[in-house]
Structure formats: C-alpha cells, structure tokens
Amino acid sequence: MSRNWTEAQKDAINAKGGNVLVSAAAGSGKTAVLVERVTQRILDRENPVRADRFLIVTFTRAAAGEMRERIDAAINALIAKNPADSWLVNQKILLSAAKICTIDSFCSSLVRENFNLLDLAPDFKTADEGELSVISAEACEATMEELYRKGDESFRDLVELLFAGRDDRGLAESIVALYKSSRSFPFPESWLDSLAEEFENCRTLAESRHGEMLFNYAATLCKYSLSITEDSLREIAGDPDLEKMLYDALSTDKAQYEYILESIENKKWDEAKRAAENFKATRRGNTPKHLKEDSLTLTLVEKRKVATENMKDLAKIFCCEEADFYSDCEFFAPLVKSLVEATKLYGKHLYELKKEKKIADFDDITHAALRLLVKETADGWERTREAESLCEFYEEILIDEYQDTNKAQDMLFTAISKNNLFRVGDVKQSIYSFRQAMPGIFIELKNAYKQYDRSEKAFPAKILLGNNFRSRKGVTDIINFVFSQLMSSESGDIEYGAEEELVPLASYSEKSEPATELHLLDTTLLTGERDN
C-alpha cells in the first residue's frame, strides 16, 4: 500500500554507502521505515541484497517477531502481484533463515555455533536470577576467605575503610557492583586496571576523571545562577521601584558569579574554592508596600534565593585544597588496586562455579561472542578470522534501540561490520542505565556524525525522525515544554532543543497503519522482556 513518506523517512529508507545513525522520536514510524528499507534493498534489481544477508537486531523478542512478520507480509504482498517472480519467492524462503533477533539471541547462537573455539560446555544453559544470586554469594564467600587468608596489608586497610557495622557486607557489595560495571566494557580486566592506574599515575586535578566531573558540575551550577540573575536584571529594567529594590544586589551577585565561573573554566581549583567560600549575597533594597504581594516581585526574590543557594552547594564541591587531592590519590592508590584485584578474584571464582554448573548469564554470552570476534592488542583491538568472515557475509546490519547498548555490545557490532551499520535509537527513551546501558554511546555518535545530505551522500551520517504520527499537537506541545525544562546536557545528557522536539503530523496516507504503531515496542521495553 502506498504511503506518503516524509523527506526524513525517505532519507532513512534510501541512504546507502556507509554507517547511518537514525535518531527516531516516539511515534515517528521507525518500524515502518526499517521494514521499507529492508524490503527495498531486497527488491533493488541493480544491487539486490539477499534476505539472509541482513542482520536485524532489536531489543525484545516481541519487536523481533513483529519485524519479521512485517517484512514477510511486504514480500507476500509483492508475490501476490508477481507470483512468477522467482527472486521474490526465493527471498521469502531465505527470510526464514535471516537473523532477526535480540542481541542476546544473536550472541547465544554465535557462541553455540562456535563452542569448540571457546572454553564453554556445548550444552550450557542460560542461568536464571535465582541461580545467579546463589552462585554470586558462593563466589563472594570464596573470594573473601582467600583474601583474608593472604592477609595483605592493603586489603586490611580496604576492609577497614568499607567496613560497616559488624560485617564486611559493604566490601562484598562493592566488589560485586564493580564486577557488574566492568562487564559493560569489551575488556573488563583492562577497564578495571585503568581505574587503579588513575590513582597510581595521578595526573593534575583538572586532567583527572574526578576533577573533570567536579569542574563540569561546578560550572553548571554557576552558569545557572548567572543565567537566572541576568534574566532578573532584564525583567526589572525600566521599572524604577524594582530597580531600586534589586538592581544593586543583582549586579553584585552577577559580578561574583562571573568571577567564580572564570576560575572554574580556567581550572583554577584553589581560586574557585576561595571565591565560592567568599561569596556573599548583598542585602537588597526594601520592598515597596504596593509590591509586597506582586507576583513578579515574589518570583524575582525567589529566583535570587535559588541562585544564591547554589553557591552553598558550590562551596561543598570545593571542599579541600588542590594539594589534598594529590595526597588522597597517594593514600587511595593501594586501596583501589586492592579493590580491583579483589574484583578480578571474584570474577575468577564466579566463572569457575558457572563452568562447573554449565551455566552462563547474558553478559557471559556477550563476552564469549566478543572473544570469538576480537583480540585485545596493545593499541586496542583487532578482528579475528571469524569476525572477518561475518563482515563479508552481512551486507547490512540494522540495530534498533541503540541508545540501550553498552561498550561491549557496541564493539561487537563494530567488529562484524564494514561501514554498513544502520543504528536507530532515541536517547529520550533510554530506560536501562541500571542494566549498564550507555546512552552516551548514541549521543557521541550523534554529535560526531553530520546531517545526511542526499546530494552529497557523505558518510557516516545522521538522520533525524522528529515527526510524530501518534499524538495531536496539544500533546506534543506539552511534552516538548516539559522536557525542554527538564533535559539538559548535564541532567539528561542532551539539550532538548529543535532536534529533539516532537513535531505532530496528522496526515499519514496508509490508513491500515494502526495509530498505536509503536505501542507494542514501548510496552515490551517497559517490561524488560529479553531473549536468550
């Protein structure tokens, strides 16, 4: 059935020749676009792609099933019009063998097909949460017993630091949490080592992870106070009563914020510390009687209170001298190294217990797949022969919900692709950070890629699907307003601006398309259903 595609949708369907990133807002018709893209590539008589040469990865089994059904239905409709077309009939057969699945399912099939190359039992099973909880407790106990038996001084200091109450549960929980975080990275032990190196090879405060984070947060607080102060000065301009009451105080505040911000942006820690500590909100003028209940006056006073209160939080950030940072690094270096070694030991015990019971969790399967595909090198990583083979086999790799991938999964897809990745996602819909999802990967790609230009066809490129086919203008206006107030690069990793806003589009030519086209995907995302 014909459809009036938007220009952005046409670009997402037709862009070929390199890596493409599609930022698809809720209700933007991304599933229909994905189906049309695959169908058109199969039907391209000049450069056709066999149905089994696609790898299509979704986040849930329900979404994978829906995708397969839609592609099959599109091919069936064409066969009905052209029953003698042997190419179409062959594509329908090949579609049954196509990899349209979840990330976990793809990794699992890859591992099972190559178990002889891995240290895994061919009959391993995917562990449930109950089994994993029991095994984790056993691994923790074995780890703690071994470490206590060795009696390393740094470990004893670590226990004392994290000891709470009458047991060492805090340390055990820290080890498990650190281990889980490490599994989001392609080379977990190297990532763990990098944490220890951060303290052992202590750089300047401004160059350290801690300093960068604190300076960025401090700058955000200060910029916010400066911004609302400047807004207030604009609002009182021309009003004699308000100027008499607030101008001097606001102007003095503004000068202090600018001085503090300059120190922060120049990465002068001690100077910023002193400036924050010495900040003083000057007394404002008296409020005229006729303005005591005035809404604007009350708002201006409250805004100033918010701005000045931020300076108290700022002073807490700069809680010590810069010299203290270096002494802290020296003190914590052996403790962090001890924590890292304890985490590695826990991972070793956990792996041995899983191997003994012939079980694996989703992260184990992902990392087993990675070991098949990449080798760590001194300069980073390189592909294996298995990865090179998959690179040659898959002519296009399409991944949905890319905002919920992590570094390990990102490397996996990079390893099996050669500039043929089609990634779709929406950072605003990322809800799996608690499962180690890293929406920052999607944000970095989006910031790095240029907007797709069909006349130039330069890659890598990004395409923005912002039109909403599900909601009326009143609904999208409310959503845009709320999220423009809440989302910033600091609080939500993105600035909610023109690129992120939902644009309602009432007319959609295919009447058979359900109004709730993406509701199934939204529901399965919330339930967190996954495949093995």
The backbone torsions φ and ψ at residue 425, rounded to the nearest 5 degrees and listed phi first, read -175, 180
Q: Report the DSSP beta bridge partners of residue 467.
A: 503
Cα separations (Å) of 17 from 47, 397, 429? 12, 13, 28
Residue 425, helix vs strand vs coil: strand
Cα 410 from Cα 185, distance rounded (Å): 9
Q: According to the 3-state scheme, what is the secondary structure of 366-406?
A: HHHHHHHHEEEECCEEEECHHHHHHHHHCCEEEECCHHHCC
Tens digit of pLDDT at every position of the chain (532 positions): 457 899 999 999 999 999 999 999 878 888 899 999 999 998 887 888 999 999 999 988 998 999 999 999 989 998 999 899 898 999 999 999 999 999 999 999 999 999 889 888 888 899 999 999 999 999 999 999 999 999 889 998 888 887 765 677 888 999 999 999 999 999 999 999 999 998 888 878 888 888 899 999 999 999 999 999 999 999 999 999 999 999 999 999 999 999 999 999 999 999 999 999 999 998 999 999 998 899 999 999 999 999 999 999 999 999 899 999 899 999 999 999 999 999 999 999 999 999 999 999 999 999 999 999 999 999 899 999 999 999 999 999 999 999 999 999 999 999 999 999 999 998 877 766 666 788 889 999 999 999 999 999 899 999 999 777 666 676 666 766 666 666 655 545 556 655 555 565 544 333 333 333 333 233 333 333 444 3
Closest CA to 526 of 384, 401, 415, 375: 401
Residue 147's pLDDT is 93
Which helix or strand (DSSP H or E) is residue 412 part of? helix 407-415
Q: Which positions ≥6 away from 532 have C-beta within 8 Å?
A: 104, 105, 108, 126, 362, 365
The per-residue pLDDT for 219 is: 94
Q: Which letter, b or e, does each residue of 341-362 get, where b requires 16 or more Cβ atoms within 10 Å of its Cβ?
A: bbbbbbbebbeebbeeeebbbb
Give the residue from 423, 450, 436 showing the smallest Cα distance to 37. 423
Specify which residues 167 forms β-bridges with. 164
- The predicted pLDDT at position 524 comes to 32
Question: Are 256 and 242 contacting, i.e. CB atoms less than 8 angstroms apart?
Answer: no
Rounded Cα distance between 192 and 480, Å, is 40
Contact partners, residue 324, CB within 8 Å, separation at least 6: none
The predicted structure's pLDDT at residue 459: 95
Residue 502: CA atoms inside 13 Å, Cβ hemisphere, count?
26
Query: How far apart (Å, rounded) are the C-alpha atoms in residues 199 and 420?
Result: 40
DSSP per-residue string spanning 100-159: EEEHHHHHHHHHHHTGGGTTS-TT-EEPPHHHHHHHHHHHHHHHHHHHHHHT-HHHHHHH
Separation of alpha carbons 250 and 273, rounded Å = 22
* Whole-number Å distance between alpha carbons of 530 and 17: 32
**48 near 396, Cβ under 8 Å?**
no
CB contact at 8 A, 30 and 401: no
What are the backbone dihedrals phi and psi of residue 23, each rounded to the nearest 5 degrees, phi first?
Answer: -95, 105
**pTM of the predicted structure, to 2 decimals:** 0.80
